[in-house]
Amino acid sequence: MPGGGWCSRMAKRAGFLAQILSHRMKRSRSSRLCFPCSSAHIQIQSRGVKRKHACFSTAPSCSRGAKRARTALSARRDWASLGDDGPACLIAQRVLANDVADYVRFRAVCRPWRRCSVDPRSQGGLVLDDGRFHPRQWVMLDKALVAGPRRHRFLNVSTGECIRTDLLLPDLADHTLHAVTNEGLLLLLHRPSLVIRLLNPLTRRLTDLPPATTLMTEQQLSRSRQGGGDLGERLSVYSAGLAVADDDASTTVMTVAIYFRFPMGIAVAKPGDQCWTLVHDRYVTATLSFAGRFYCTIGTSVMVLEDSSATTSDHPRLVMAVKPSFHMSGMADSLHLVDNAGELMLVHRLLCKDDNDDAHGEKYKMDYRVYRVDLDAGALVPAKSLNGRAVFIGRRRAISVRAGAFSSVSADTLYLGSDCDEKTTMNKIQAYNVADGSAQPYHHDSCIDMVQPYGVVDCISHCIMGSGRHLL
């Protein structure tokens, strides 16, 4: 048996080869992921990149030395030989640890590499607690705004890479998009059956959840039938996320938590369940799945979802994580939870008087307070920075972006979503600097109905507006 030194050398070699492959696969900043219907053949096409072929002379004067050099070069470039008994398995693990999109590219190279790596459509979904297959760093920029059926653009908020994905699955017919989880999964509704499903847009793994009708009371169902129309048209979702739940010592599954607008409340279910379980039937101010837990704010209290094994209740329930430390207006203010590169933060968007209302004719303006959520101490800590990152906040969703990935994005800055009123009416600002309180003005007249945003900031501000009955 090989010793530990051999294993160490193989691991180092795999890491080195993984870096080479990652560099080769990312030569194009604008690429398109094409997923044919057959799961055995995944093709990735890059736009704007032409394959470089060696230019050899076909004249009779070609020497034997040149031929031997070309033969040796071809042997060194025989990447398929890394599969099966080679180090491709270790390379696949390194690539997957970096980004699931790179893993899909890796498997698309050749059949031997697919044989030595796990199929993401059969493993690493919701049943197994393997978040490496979740496209956490990717945000969908558009819903049904680009040409072509079911072709969507995704932006990596850490690297700035943009890809296009064709979701040409026959199983996705008659589906509408209702929400996007913090893990990058798409919450879909199958309109004919009202079955709720989760789709991983990069691996195309589709997970069935109970139908929405199991959450409705007989009275709600009766009223909907009497009023006519489609039940799917009345269903509305604010947000969704995942939480880890332990069924026993050997099995870990994912619980899906959805905050419904109609029927109102937070409901949870696991893959394979027959119905949804309602855990809260009132309005909440913000939700977010973070580090394997599902958090929400009720008033200014930060609550966390606990499963039945961690509580004395037979059903999951919300328990206090952070007690309220400030007051807010339920009508004018809003709260936003955000995963800021592994740190849970809360943004308080509040209405206050404008001491300089002559500038734009308004007596009030929106102001912003940022807090770090200290879960160990159960307290909110005021913050004057975002750790060099930028945060985009919308009415229902907030995301953190690495400022260095985009030249037009500033560090320690809050950018307003296109659904925030102060962007076009009150403050007329596009961004607010957390460190010094300065603001960047917004110059466009309207952004709610903008079909083709002008830049990266406008694209992200548009995509976090929320969701609800968008065609996939």
Does 95 share its domain with 224?
no
Which of 287, 308, 324 is the last residue in one of the domains?
324
Does 386 share its domain with 459?
yes
> What's the helix, strand, coil split of the chain in %, to 5?
25, 35, 45
Q: Which of 267, 248, 124, 123 is nearest to 187 (CA)?
A: 267
Please state at what angle helix 100-107 crosses helix 4-25, rounded to 10 degrees. 90
Q: Give me the residue label for tokens 């049904």.
A: 144
Query: What's residue 289's pLDDT?
Result: 95
How confident is the model over 223-246, as a mean pLDDT? 77
pLDDT > 90 fraction of the chain, expressed in percent and rounded: 38
Does 289 share its domain with 263?
yes
Which of 137, 156, 177 is the last residue in one of the domains?
137
Separation of alpha carbons 144 and 126, rounded Å: 26
Q: Which of 267, 290, 270, 264 is nearest to 278 (CA)?
A: 267
Lowest-pLDDT choice from 22-31, 47-56, 217-226, 247-256: 47-56
pLDDT band at 3 (very low <50, low <70, confident <90, very high): very low
Q: Give me the residue label for tokens 């969507």.
A: 152
Assigned domain for 449 exists: yes
427: tokens are 């403050």
How confident is the model over 112-123, as a mean pLDDT? 81
* pLDDT at 389 > cutoff 90: yes
Per residue in 94-113, pLDDT (tens digit) is 889 889 999 999 888 888 88
Separation of alpha carbons 234 and 224, rounded Å: 8
Q: Which of 265, 282, 279, 287 is nearest to 307 (CA)?
A: 279
- Domain span holding position 278: 169-324
Do you find a cis peptide bond into 211, omega within 30 degrees of 0? no
pLDDT band at 123 (very low <50, low <70, confident <90, very high): low
32 or 141: which leads in pLDDT: 141
Does 181 share its domain with 319?
yes
How confident is the model over 14-29, as a mean pLDDT? 52
pLDDT band at 362 (very low <50, low <70, confident <90, very high): low
Does 391 share its domain with 341?
yes
Assigned domain for 281 exists: yes
Total domains in the chain come to 3
Which of 324, 357, 388 is the last residue in one of the domains?
324
* pLDDT at 345 > cutoff 60: yes
Query: What's residue 10's pLDDT?
Result: 44
Assigned domain for 149 exists: no
Does 351 share its domain with 319?
no
Query: What's residue 233's pLDDT?
Result: 77
Query: What's residue 464's pLDDT?
Result: 87
* pLDDT at 449 > cutoff 50: no
Residue 265 region by backbone torsions, left for phi larger than 0, else alpha for psi between -120 and 50, else beta: left
Query: What's residue 85's pLDDT?
Result: 63
Query: What's residue 290's pLDDT?
Result: 95
Query: What's residue 50's pLDDT?
Result: 36
* pLDDT at 57 > cutoff 80: no
Does 261 share its domain with 361?
no
Query: What's residue 19's pLDDT?
Result: 60
Separation of alpha carbons 414 and 424, rounded Å: 16
Kindly report the backbone phi and psi dihedral angles of residue 303, in degrees, each rounded to the nearest multiple of 5, phi listed first: -110, 155
- What are 353's strand-pairing partners? 364
13: tokens are 């070699």
Assigned domain for 61 exists: no
How confident is the model over 371-393, as a mean pLDDT? 96
Lowest-pLDDT choice from 165-169, 317-321, 411-415, 444-448: 444-448
Does 174 share its domain with 295?
yes
Query: What's residue 6's pLDDT?
Result: 38
* pLDDT at 44 > cutoff 50: no
Assigned domain for 364 exists: yes
pTM: 0.80
Assigned domain for 471 exists: no
Does 408 share its domain with 365?
yes
Q: Which of 171, 164, 252 is nearest to 208 (CA)?
A: 171
* pLDDT at 58 > cutoff 70: no
Does 90 share its domain with 209?
no
Assigned domain for 224 exists: yes
Does 213 share its domain with 315?
yes
Does 317 share its domain with 375?
no
431: tokens are 């961004």
pLDDT > 70 fraction of the chain, expressed in percent and rounded: 69
In degrees, rounded to 5, the angle at the alpha carbon of residue 224 between the alpha carbons of residues 222 and 228 is: 115
Lowest-pLDDT choice from 13-17, 240-244, 249-253, 416-420: 13-17
Most confident of 92-96, 255-259, 443-447: 255-259
Per residue in 280-332, pLDDT (tens digit) is 999 999 999 999 999 999 999 999 999 866 656 678 999 999 998 888 988 88
Query: What's residue 398's pLDDT?
Result: 95
Lowest-pLDDT choice from 9-13, 66-70, 86-90: 9-13
Query: What's residue 142's pLDDT?
Result: 66
Average pLDDT, the chain: 77
Assigned domain for 60 exists: no
